[in-house]
Chain A
Amino acid sequence: MIQDYISLAIGNLKHKRVRSLLTIIGIVIGIGAIIALISVSQGLENSIKEQFELFGKDRILIGPKGFQGPGTVSEGLTTKDVDTIENLGEFEYVTYFLSRTAEIERKNQVKFALATSYPAEDVEKAFGDIDIDVKSGRFFTKGEKFSAILGSRAASELFDEDVRVRNKIKIAGSSFEVIGILENIGNPQDDNIIIIPIEAAREIFNEPDKVEGIMAQVKPGVDIQETQSRIERALKRARDDENFQVLTPTQILEQINQVLGVVQVVLVGIAAISLVVGGIGIMNSMYTSVLERTKEIGIMKAIGAKNKDILLIFLIESGFLGIIGGFFGVLLGLGIGKLVGVIAFQSGFQFLKIEVNFSLIIFGLIFAFFVGMISGAIPAYQASKLKPVDALKYE
């Protein structure tokens, strides 16, 4: 009995090839969109979290109020504040940075890029702590001044010709020798970095004592929260104002999570919309294809089919379409997700890893199966409720 219905259903799908194909395409697109969006958004979320770990767990970041990261306009901190913090003790080291967008010149090619400066002797420690080494050349030595270290992308993408160790570049008109190139970090912002010693930056940017941000690496075992409040108290006392903020990794994570939350809401929103659009698309094509066959339903009733026989045939048929559409939709979605990953990789966002999520695949298949089945079964049920005379009259 069931086998007969299955072969009836499959026979029909084969007969209405174009219609079946269009219905399947509708399902493929719906499911594909859902899978692609969800896997990209999951990949994004994972990689942002991973990136955060780069920052290090034992660092306290001190910046002016409203500090948003390197390169943003910020005022207020000076080397005096660095001294205040250093005097508290309890740190492995305290380092600070200053960055400016500047004209970078090589072989008459001029670009604008961000130059970031640290005390020369701190660079190796600061990067070493987050496991980043030079790919070629070396880090600065103490007292070194007109030398530069380039991120991997800055070396390969900024100028037509790759920059190598011992090449010369000009930053804001002064000549620097490239002494090191960093290994890949994985995101364009970090890989585009141009590092110079702060002593040189003070000279070429004419900033005698300004500091954009201070990073304090806490000694192992020291309580971060407590150190944070000690820094706050000390700075308040020394500066006699509150135009600064002291951030712990947890707080930074909270901030990142806030941004991530917005991203997620948007992506989940898009996924929900594509779920609805995909679902309605499936329903629409199922509905019209069943409606077209109202007369056939009338014929089957006239020759002795019960309502439940008709329902069963259509359930098999639409469930079958759903599962095929779902299968190819999942493939399409994963393909698009991977493609986004590859494109992101080539644009430097190497941290974006799109992974094949098994439960997402199952979800896609089940969703397609049930939405397909239900949206085929509902109009079939309605048609089967018609009196045979009325169904037979349907053209």
Chain B
Amino acid sequence: MKKAIIKMKDLWKTYHMGETTLDALKEINLEIYQGEFFTILGHSGSGKSTMLNMVGSLDLPTKGKIFLDGIDISTLHESDLAQLRGKKIGLVFQSFNLIPSLTALENVSLPMIFQGQDKNTRDSKSKELLSLVGLSSRMTHKASQLSGGEKQRVAIARALSNNPEVILADEPTGNLDSKTGAEIMNIFEDLHKNHNRTIIMVTHDIGLVKGSDRSCYLSDGKIIKVSKNIKEIKEMVIKK
């Protein structure tokens, strides 16, 4: 039996804007297993990012529960949550979200600083990860000096720095040209296949997704379908 690393139970997210309310997520029930590559597909505004943010504990659900490695994250206090997030979750964003004033190496080290790692450990781990994503020659470049593809590689290395249980990626190729996007996608595939990483990815570039174990189709805040057959999900997206 595979271990469920993420468990969402009756999850609701409601946004209030003055008089109107918007249910961005409606009654989500989903389990994601250790070592799985899970993709979330759906049209714009369907709630993909909202869901990923809940899993990443960047936002709190209105109703329902999220278990990360068996811990109900909605019960945690701010500092414990931050600790857990830093340790168990690696985030990769569409807009990279590096600290521009820091070098590639420092950006990768930063999550380890917040986990209290010493400098030697941080440096050797960061170097190892940067060479894993093919950036050994850019370690001392400032993040602001890197190209988009290079930034995303740094972001992936950073997401891996605390050896997290799950990597969450929200349209990681969204700001990249198709060739660079494909390269980034290959890195994720490699992480999944050869390093046994758990990856949850939101993406529009359905053509690029290969090697995903399971996918789900999200529409209007609801999970319409979960399938091992990504073609089936892709067709649902295209049809609509």
Contact = CB atoms under 8 A, between A and B. Distances in A.
Contact of B58 (A5, A308, A387): A387
B175 interface: no
A305 B97 contact: no
B99 A389 contact: no
Majority DSSP secondary structure for residues of A touching B = helix
B58 A304 contact: no
Interface stretch (A9-17, A23-31, A213-221): A9-17
Interface in A380-395: 387-389, 392
B116 interface: yes
Contacts of A298: 97
A300 B162 CA distance: 14
Interface centre among A11, A298, A304, A389 (most CB of B within 10 A): A304
B114 A309 contact: yes
B79 interface: yes
A170 B86 CA distance: 93
B235 to A, nearest CB: 31
5 contacts: A295-B97, A302-B58, A305-B114, A387-B59, A388-B58
B113 interface: yes
A11 B82 contact: no
Contact of A302 (B91, B115, B119, B142): B91
Interface residues on B, range: 20 to 34
A121 interface: no
A304 B102 contact: no
A388 B100 CA distance: 18
B182 interface: no
A304 B114 contact: yes
A301 interface: yes
B86 A304 contact: yes
Given A309-B114, A389-B58, A389-B59, A303 B91 contact: yes
Nearest to A301: B82
A15 B101 contact: yes
Contacts, number: 72
Interface in B125-152: 142
Interface in A251-277: none
Interface in B50-65: 53, 56-60
B79 A306 contact: yes
Nearest to A15: B101
A306 B78 contact: yes
B111 interface: yes
Interface of B: 53, 56-60, 78-79, 82-83, 85-87, 91, 93, 97-102, 106, 110-111, 113-116, 119, 142, 158, 162
B82 A305 contact: yes
A299 interface: yes
Contacts of B57: 388
Given A4-B113, A16-B101, A305-B114, A387 B60 contact: yes
A304 B101 contact: no
B83 A392 contact: no
A307 interface: yes
Interface in A176-216: none
Contacts of B99: 296, 299-300
Nearest to B111: A303
A5 B114 CA distance: 10
A192 B57 CA distance: 81
Nearest to B60: A387
Contacts of A308: 79
Contacts of B87: 304
Contacts of A387: 58-60
Nearest to B116: A1
A302 B113 contact: no
